[in-house]
Structure formats: structure tokens, C-alpha cells
Structure 1
């Protein structure tokens, strides 16, 4: 689509209606924005009804170069001044639940990351590889003879949730409880859940408080009776004399179940849709799964970009890529758009599991806020498609229901899928 000022003026990233559009419409809109000579400035959505203060607006960073540079320069573009996961500044009552790593800057960020990173090194996540494979296999076992299912509810949502809960020591009887509270936190503005606009804030805080109570009770028990789970590691971690408080552990748990669970589930769901719509790429991956898995996963994350944006705020006047920002200016780093930047990704709209290089920013740009759980997410996505393609090679996605009405998460709420049941396929081979 050619650049046209009137078309660009019609694009309002703060309008909830924009995020109800199809992915194709979003792609066209962001292509228009990337073609502009400088980032556009937007008024903030009015969230006063749920307790968020009005703000002065923000610049939309939609080019790969801007997103990468702002990510690297955390001293100038900070996360803690008002929060990184929302456009409006985060009220105090929200910060106590959602004020974990993602909304911190150094030195607090470095301290907390130094302690919790012990559980998310490649070596540590490698140790749970067998657990991830086992969980993925069990989920495929549960659907293999049915021929159809809601892929999100029964596979994509459950895999990362079970992995995280198992890591934390949350019993299986509480898994659905965690899923429900996670959806309530991230899906509050979706029309399906928007039955009472004035009650969004209280529902989000209520869900967060219930998650805090769950993990706080567990942390108190693990301090006295440690096991090998992640809560035990965190509650008893002592790095250079530093320990986590129960509130810090609770906030970190919310970050894990909301960011870690929701983002990985949506990467897996979008991945099945991509393979369905690109049968040549499915066949290529089927022919040599292990060879193509690393690049295929990166490409799924690039195209799906489960986290659409993060927010930063300028700590001082600064010039970046020819644009002057003033102290206090808000900028939104639109990963979803950066991952489609034609100047970085040739034929950016094409799904190519062999794409190299692939400097995608779906796990965040380079710098201190690069996703702590990226190694784990890659293993989960790989495990999911290893089982699916090996055992249900013809699995295909139907038309998804409307995307989650969110400017923050590129979410698929429900995704019907079909496949040949294992017994039928085995019987056909025998005949």
C-alpha cells in the first residue's frame, strides 16, 4: 500500500477498534507508519475510569532500528517511570502486583535479575527438557484419537502453563485457576470480557491478588520445607547476601504466568496457523524436524510477535535516528511492527522457516530487558511442534475466532483444529 497522509491520519493506535481489525489490516497500517519520515505521536487512551491517570501521549516506534536502539539504551529509555507494560502510568495499587523485573531499571532490576536468573540459564532450562517433552507428549496423547479440538484450550495454553506451574511447584488441581486469572489480567479490555467497564481495574487487581495469595502461601511453606521446585530456589536464594521478599517472589510469579504463559501459548497457536496456511513450510519441517527447528521457532516468534509492544520513557533529552525526544516523553516499542520491517527482513510478510539472519525482537530487543525466559520458550515451542508434526502430521487450523481485543498481546482466544486420529492413520498404513 502506498504511503498516503490521509490514510496515515486515519490510523489511531490508541483506539480499541484498531486492535479489533484483522491481522492483514494491522500489517497494512504499520507498513504505512514505517514509511513515514519520523515516528507519529498519539494521544493516550482514556483509562481514568479504571484509575489510570491521563497522560500527555506517546511516540510509536515502529521501525526495527528505533526499537533496537531504544532497547539497548536503557539509561535513556527507562522502564520504571510509570511502568513498561501499559501506556498510561501505572497506579500504585497496580505496581505492587505488576512491578516485577519488566517494570524496573537498574540497580533494582540488576539485583532481582541476578537472583532469579539462576533458574533461567540455558543450563538450567536444559535440565527440564525431558519434562517439557513429557508434558507436550501428554497433551498430544489427550487429543490424538479425537480428530479435532480447540487447539488453544487443549494444547497451546496448557503446555507453558503446566511447565511453569510444575517448575513453581503449583499442584495440577490449581492449573485452571492460574489460567483463568491470567486471562482475566490480560483480557480485561476484550469485548468478550468487557461486561462492566468500570470494574476492569478491580477484576485485574482481584485476579492478581488471588495469584499472590497462592504463591505467597507456597513460598512460606517452601522456606521451611524446601523441595527442588523454583519457589524453593527463589525463596532460599542468597546471592551475595541478597534475598527475595515474598512480595518480589509473588510479583515474579505473576510475570511468569502472565508473560511467560500467554506469550508462549500465542506463539504456538499462531505457529499452527502459519503451518496450515503455508503447506510447503510444513513439508519442509516434516522432512527434517531437528535441522529446521531452531530457525523455524525464531520465524514463528517473528511473525506472531506475541507481545505487541513495551513502553519506555525518556530520562533526558536525547536524539535517536534523527528524532529529538524530550525528558519525560513516552515511546512505545512496537515489536510486532519491527518484526515486519522490510529494510531488515526481505519479503517480510513471507513465512520462511529457513530465514537467516533473523534478528527478530519477539523476545524484546537487545539490552537488559531481553526476555529472561527466552530459552525456555524456545524449548516449549520446539517440543510442541515436535510432538504434533511427528504424531499428527496433518493437523490443520481452522479459522480462529476474533483475536484478543488487546493492543498488548497478539492473542488467539480459540482455534479449532482437525487431524486424522492416530488409530485411523496407523490402520491406513497397515492396510
Structure 2
């Protein structure tokens, strides 16, 4: 394979799997590679080595999330200003101020208080899946858990949790005609979620309770609170980030355990010790968010390439997580991998994932529960993958669950 044939931007490629062969060529021959882009005549820089991805992540003053957002595709100029108000699309100091407010809802104490509820949710989910015997693992297990947790975290009525699932699917599936049949489907879903968030925030301001929403929309002891717009945008970000990433780590993790059956047996032999390490390895292996964009704020050199101001730069986490110079035997799924300095939650810096501890806790408890209760999870059909160059997603995974004795 030559550099002339490289194309890691085409969403059609990802329907059959991540193009790891192409990423390996880029890491070896052109770790900062000028890649074609049908939306930009000058293309973009594809960054694929672990060291370069972490460097870009940790230097927001050079590589901005704000100028053209963090999303891979080009944004509608009429909506760019609104997109830039979302935390994931901000740079310090605006990002620093907003993140400090949001941290109130993601303290270790707050997350720790969810442990028993997550365990109860996993018990109920696995009970139902085992009783069904066969079905779509994504719907039975992977999608259900983050929906329950987000609803609990945000004080959303449990009966409304499937609205969160539908909105996040439609917002992120713009390149998949099955999930987003109309060109403006994502925008319509965002507007519906925005309206729901507005009503939720208004209700919590009027009658605050002990949940994250009340912590964010009611002034703290220093008088700080999220504005109405900031909360609405955070709600949209949370239902996408908290739902899609955890769901796809769980489903992709199960596919890895199916492909590496000795790792399933290893997990079953000692679920208490192995589940947490397994959760981290699943995030590395899947890399649910495969890449984020940055925009250069000035001319800068990266691994010998001159990047000009306003150039588009894409950090490929899914490539960095298989960097042979960082991970021994990276194409082996190893649930005991330790240390595991993956960039599945970002490469450090101000945008390091706010909900990483919650996501790992959900994956850990789900797989500890499955390992105790199920002897096998056997595929009954090939998985159906999301058509996306952004989210590494499985739409459907038909399986048979064999109860443990």
C-alpha cells in the first residue's frame, strides 16, 4: 500500500471495520500526512502517532478547538457561532471557566454514589438479556446501561430515556442513511433535544433537587451557575458523549471478547480483578471517538511538517491507540494490559474527557456482571457497523447468551 492510495476519511471504509492497515502505513511513513478532503481544496493534516496526538491535545493555544470546532466535517457558517459555545468547541479561558462549573457534577463523590445504582441496573439488564436468550446485544445490554445512567444523573424521567437514545443516534449518524435518512435529520434532533433541555433546566431552577442538573443551574456559594444556553448545549453534549461512547465501548468490547475467546475466559476466571483493566483495554481497542479536529492558530512544525495557520488538523485516536512504539503487540486484545496509556478519552490537556471515570465504571460493572452470569456470548450473525468516520459504532450484534451454571 502506497501513500497515494491512502484514504482514511471515507465513511464507507468503516462499514467493514477501522482501516488499521492504512493507519499503520501512515504511522510508519507519514505520521503527519496531508490528506485529501472533498470539502477543502488544501485537504487536512492526519496525525496518527501517539506522541503527536498528545502534543496537539495538550497545546490548545496552537491547535484550537474553537476556530472551526472539533468535528471532522465543515460546519455551516450560519450555525458556527452557536456550535462554538459548546464546551467541546471552546479554548481556554472560556473552556476553563465552563469546565470548572461542570466539574461540580462529576466529582468522585458524585460518581461514587452511582455505583450501587449502576450495579442494580446491570443486574436488571443482564437478567432480561439472559431471559431473552437471543437478541441484539447492542439493544439488550450496550445501549440500555448508559441511558439508565444518564437519566439518573440528569434527573430525566426513566420513561424519557429512549428519547435521549433517539436524539443522539440521529445527531451523530449523518453519514449513515439508515439512521439519518433526511439531510437535516441531525439538526432536527438537536432542536428537539435543545427544547427538552430548556424545559428540564427551567423545572430544576424552580424546584432544585439532589441531581447534577440542579447543581449546574442553581448558583453555588460563589454565585456561579450555567446560563440557560450553556446548560442546553451541555445537555446535548452529554447525551451524545455519555451515550454513544459508552455504548460503543461496551458493544465493541464484546466483539473483541468474541474474537479473542481466551480473554473472555480470563475475565470469567477473575471478574473482580480483571473487569477494570478490561474496561480500559476496551476503550483503547474500540476508540469510540476515532478522531477530533483542531485548527492551527499559527504556523507550526509537527514531526517535520510545516502546518500553516488555519490549517485543519485531525488527531486520529484510533491510530494512536495502536502505535507500536507505545503499546506492545497492539493488535492483540489483552484485558490485562497494564500500563495502558491509551488516548481513548483524549490525549490529555484541557479537553481530557470529563466523564471518563463514569464511563469506565459503567463498562467495568457491566462486564463484571456479564462474566459472573453468562458462560458464553455466541454470535448468531455478523455485526452491522455504523457508516461513520467519526464514531466507531456497531448498530446491531445478534447473539445467543448462555447462562452460567
TM score, norm. by length of structure 2: 0.95
82-91 vs 210-219, greater mean Cα deviation: 82-91
1:102 pairs with 2:102: no
For residue 125 of structure 2, what is the aligned residue in structure 1? 139
Q: From the superposition, tell whether residues 237 and 149 of structure 1 become closer, same or farther in structure 2 (CA, over 3 Å).
A: farther
Change (3 A) 1:349 1:274: same
Question: Which of 355, 358, 362 matches 1:373?
Answer: 355
For structure 2, the residue ranges without an aligned partner over 5 or more in a row are none
Q: SS in structure 2 opposite 1:360?
A: coil
Q: Are the equivalent residues in 2 in contact too, given 1:94–1:205 (CA < 8 A)?
A: no
Residue 46 of structure 2 aligns to a residue whose secondary structure is: strand
Indicate conservation of the 8 Å contact 2:86/2:234, yes or no. Answer: yes
Query: More strand per residue: 1 or 2?
Result: 2
- Matched residues in 2 for 1:55 and 1:243: separation? 42
Deviations 1:318-349 (A, max 9, x none): 12233222111111000001001111111110
Query: By how many angstroms is 1:383 displaced?
Result: 1.1
1:124 equivalent in structure 2: 110
In the aligned structure 1, how far is the partner of 2:283 from the partner of 2:168? Answer: 21
Asked if 1:310 corresponds to 2:292, the answer is yes
Counterpart position of 1:390 = 372
> Is 1:34 matched with 2:16?
no
What's the offset of the Cα at 1:90?
A: 5.0
Query: Are residue 412 (structure 1) and residue 394 (structure 2) matched?
Result: yes
Q: Matched residues in 2 for 1:187 and 1:239: separation?
A: 41
1:44 to partner: Cα distance: 2.2
3-state DSSP of counterpart to 1:43: strand
Mapped pair 1:257 → 2:239: yes
1:83–1:90 contact (8 Å) kept in structure 2 = no
* 1:1-400 map, 5 Å: 4-5=1-2, 8-23=3-18, 26-46=19-39, 56-93=42-79, 96=82, 99-193=85-179, 195-196=181-182, 200=183, 202-238=184-220, 240-400=222-382
Displacement of 1:395? 2.1
CA–CA distance in 1 between the matches of 2:119 and 2:85? 32
Given that 1:157 and 1:261 are in contact with CA atoms closer than 8 Å, whether structure 2 keeps it comes out as yes
CA displacement 1:333-386 (0-9 Å, x = unmatched): 000010011111111100111112211000011111000000000000011111
Aligned-partner Cα distance in 2 for 1:398–1:191:
25
Q: TM-score, normalised by structure 1?
A: 0.90
Distance 1:204 1:179, change over 3 A: same
Q: Secondary structure at the match of 2:188?
A: helix
Aligned length: 405
Cα distance in structure 2, aligned partners of 1:114 and 1:317: 30
Which runs of at least 4 in structure 1 moved beyond 4 Å after TM superposition? Answer: none
> More displaced, 67-76 or 90-99?
90-99
CA RMSD between the two structures: 1.8
Between the aligned partners of 2:314 and 2:382, the Cα distance in structure 1 is 28
